[in-house]
Structures are given as C-alpha cells and as structure tokens.
Structure 1
Amino acid sequence: MPQTPPDRNRTDPQAHPQRLRVAHLNPNAATPFLLRPDGETRAAIADELGVEALPKLEFRGEVRAEGAQGWRLDGRLAARVTQACVVTLKPVRSEISEPVRLRYSPHLAAPEGDEVEMGDETLEPLGAFIDLTAAMIEALALALPPYPRAEGAELAAPEDEPEPAEDTRRPFAGLDKLLKGDG
C-alpha cells in the first residue's frame, strides 16, 4: 500500500496528492490502495467542500489494467460528515458509504474551454499518474447530501395570499370599431 510521507505543514489536500505512477503499475495484478487522511487534511477537505466537519474519511480499493492501455479503479468511499441543515442551520451528521468506479483511458482528452463535462462520468483521461486524492474528493463531493435536514425540520408553508383580482381590462375592446372607421 503506497503511503504519502507525513508533512507537518500540509494543509492543502492537493499539495501532495496520493498518486500512482501509471508506468509503475503492474498490468497483470491489481494495485491495492488505502487512503485515510489525517485530521488536518480532513479539515482542509471539509473547508474545500463547504461542510462543517469531516471526522472520518477512508478511500480503499484497487487499480487494475483494463484492456490494452486503460486502467480501472474500483473502490469504496466511507465518510462521516457534518453539514448545516438547510432549514434550521443545525448540524446534520451523515454516514456515507459509496462504491467508486472510474475508468482511465489514454484516448480521452480533458475538457477544454466551454466544455465542462464529459459524457460518461466514470471515464477519466489517463495521464502519467492516477490521482487517488482527487478521485476521493470528487467521489465525496458527489456523495454529499445536497439538502441536509435536521430531524423534524420543516419549511413553514407560505402564507395564503389572496387571489389576484381578475383582470377586467380589455385593451383591444374598441379596436374593431376603429378599424371599421366607426370610431
């Protein structure tokens, strides 16, 4: 299992990402991985994703050859997150356990300019490295509950507004007379 050397000044999870050099991967055997970011790194990831806390984060799996030139990542993301309730702003704790599958292809280019997405969200461009940290953060961002709610939190129903009065104006009422020359 590859490990990133500890760095006491590490606050940015992208500063020293856990990456696998593709040229060093064995095409005949799976390469297992396990990422368990330390507290400081989890705090930086939580800040990056806009969540209140990230007390647990683990990403484990394996990378193996797929076809002649591609690679496949199969893993599992496990996390515990605290987000603000969208109604009350009280802390909402969620457990996340998601399978992660990514395919890396050398025949795929990264989106440029106005292109912001790729058609298949499991397909990634293959470069010299497979960045496990980036895959972990992206998987976590996609797995976060979009509208966390505290238990029992409900939006207040809007007050009944009176129905608007029926529009009795008739802007073209005299037009027919005007067109006939009667007006």
Structure 2
Amino acid sequence: MSNVTSLRVADLPQNAPTSFDLRPAAAALDEIRQDLGLLGLRKLSFSGDVQARGKRDWVLNGKLGATVIQPCIVTLEPVTTRIDIPVHRTFLADWNDPDEPEFEIPEDDESEPLGAEIDPARVMVEALSLALPQYPRKDGAELGQADFTEPGKQAMTDEDVKPFAGLAELRDALKKDE
C-alpha cells in the first residue's frame, strides 16, 4: 500500500485534530486481501483523527469497518464476517525499547514509537489483521472424531487420554488384590 496517506508529524497542528477517512480502491483492497490471506475483502473503511497529546505525543482514534471472507477451519467453505471496531493508538516521542531479549508486550498495549510520520493506512491494515477471527467456522460445522491406530489395535479415544480416567479402574483392581 502506498504511503500517500501518511501524515508528517511536523506538519500536524498542535491545537486541532487532523481527520482522515480511508476507503481503499479495488487494487489496494486486493493487495491487502492477498497480504492477509483472505478469500475476500469488501467495504474496508477507516476514519478518525490524529491529535496532539501533550507537547510531543500524538493519539490516533478511529473506527475500522470491513467485511472479510475466510476459509472455514473445518470445511474450508467461505465464512463471511463483519468487523466494526474502534482503533486507538498512542505515538510516544519518548519510546523506550525494552532491554530484555524475552520481553513480551502486553496484548492491550496500544502505544508505539513516534516517527517522522503517522500512517493511518498502516494502522488500518494492522488493526484489521488483529481483528480477524483466528478460527473462522461455518455455522453447524463440527469436527468429527478421527481415529488413528495400527491395523488390528483399538484406537485411543478422548476418554482414554484424560489424566484421571484410569484411576477408578486402578483403585478397583487394587481392592480386588487385597
């Protein structure tokens, strides 16, 4: 996606919000669809504003809307989902990268470092990818039980793998031996 929609921080007014309203054209929609591995993407829109918070930080508030089509995880048939979510990002001038190599960013953290530009189109694609259903499932689609074992042997069931499933049998066997 092009960076035509990027907002140069140096050009943003400190005392008034700067609005944006993105509705990508067909070619851009197709590029986003391919990048996110979707079967279809329609009605993508992202509107909101960017405004100063304090002297050096900026806040983006917006509303993302899209209709996505993904393959069902059970049947691979198309599943259509409507997404309408609020999006909030805070761009911090004094961003500190954690020093620890194993540091995990909390899931609800909406802060990121402030660069020379704020790109609502990048935020739109990121927010859309985070909002996609991880396991889309067609109504009524269910996984059946799959049995895998060597020929001539009894297949292991879900009941067999429960950690305490055999304790009652063991207890009864021990009582018999006494």
**RMSD (Å), alpha carbons:** 2.4
Q: Which residue of 2 aligns with 1:150?
A: 138
Q: Which residue of 2 aligns with 1:141?
A: 129
Ranges in structure 2 where 5+ consecutive residues have no aligned partner:
148-154, 167-178
Q: Structure 2 residue aligned with 1:42, among 29, 34, 37?
A: 29
Q: Which residue of 2 aligns with 1:10?
A: none
Shift of 1:123: 0.3
- TM-score, length-normalised on structure 2? 0.77
Q: Which residue of 2 aligns with 1:125?
A: 113
Q: After superposition, where does 1:8-157 map in structure 2 within 5 Å?
A: 13=1, 15-109=2-96, 118-119=105-106, 121-157=109-145
CA contact (8 A) 1:74 1:99 kept: yes
CA distance in 1 between counterparts of 2:134 and 2:142 reads: 16
Matched, 1:161 2:156: yes
Shift of 1:112: 9.2
2:27 partner amino acid: E
CA distance in 2 between counterparts of 1:127 and 1:112 reads: 20
Q: Indicate how the Cα distance of structure 1 residues 18 and 85 shifts in structure 2: closer, same or farther if over 3 A, else same.
A: same
Aligned residues: 152
Ranges in structure 1 where 5+ consecutive residues have no aligned partner:
1-12, 167-183
Residues 67-121 of structure 1, C-alpha deviation per residue, up to 9 Å, x if partnerless? 1110000000000000000000000000000100000011115679957854462
The structure with more helix, counted as a fraction of residues: 2
Structure label with greater radius of gyration: 1
Shift of 1:144: 0.3
CA contact (8 A) 1:17 1:134 kept: no
Shift of 1:143: 0.3
CA contact (8 A) 1:39 1:55 kept: no
- TM-score, length-normalised on structure 1? 0.75
1:67 partner amino acid: G
Q: Which residue of 2 aligns with 1:177?
A: none
The secondary structure found in structure 2 opposite 1:153 is coil
The secondary structure found in structure 1 opposite 2:123 is helix
2:91 partner amino acid: Y
Residues 34-81 of structure 1, C-alpha deviation per residue, up to 9 Å, x if partnerless? 000011111110111111111120000000100111000000000000
The secondary structure found in structure 2 opposite 1:62 is strand
Q: Indicate how the Cα distance of structure 1 residues 117 and 137 shifts in structure 2: closer, same or farther if over 3 A, else same.
A: farther
1:54 partner amino acid: L
